[in-house]
């Protein structure tokens, strides 16, 4: 018997560089709704900030050792593919 997929292929969470300085990224769903942000605290790791009521509510705050681990946590929590976009937030 095959295990169900970790995420629905149509559900995507995008991580974008905020463009406001190093170490901050926005998190948005496929409908461009704000899900929060990731912030790097040098020497401490990466932290996820989720507004109350968003799909990320209840996610572990961190620290995460790498951005990739934070993204993996987001993917598991939202049951979506989590991708990094090189395009900055508009």
Would you list the domain boundaries of the chain? 12-85
| Distance between CA atoms of residues 43 and 56, nearest Å | 24
The predicted structure's pLDDT at residue 16: 82
Q: CB neighbours of 1 closer than 8 A, spacing ≥ 6?
A: none
How many residues are given for the chain? 90
Q: What is the pLDDT, as a whole number, of residue 49?
A: 94
Question: In the predicted model, is pLDDT for residue 72 greater than 90?
Answer: yes
User: pLDDT by residue (tens digit) across 15-31?
Assistant: 887 766 678 899 998 88
Res 42 pLDDT > 80? yes
The reported pTM is: 0.79
Q: Using alpha carbons only, what angle is made at residue 76 by residues 19 and 55, rounded to the nearest 5 degrees?
A: 65
Which among 50, 51, 47 is positioned nearest to 39, based on CA atoms?
47
């Amino acid at each position: 018997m095959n295990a169900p997929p970790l995420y629905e292929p149509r559900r995507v969470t995008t991580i974008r560089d905020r463009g406001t300085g190093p170490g901050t990224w926005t998190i948005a769903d496929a409908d461009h709704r704000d899900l929060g942000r990731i912030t790097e605290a040098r020497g401490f790791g990466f932290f996820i900030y989720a507004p109350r009521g968003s799909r990320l509510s209840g996610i572990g705050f961190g620290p995460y050792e790498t951005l990739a681990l934070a993204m993996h946590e987001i993917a598991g929590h939202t049951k979506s593919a989590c991708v990094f976009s090189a395009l900055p937030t508009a």
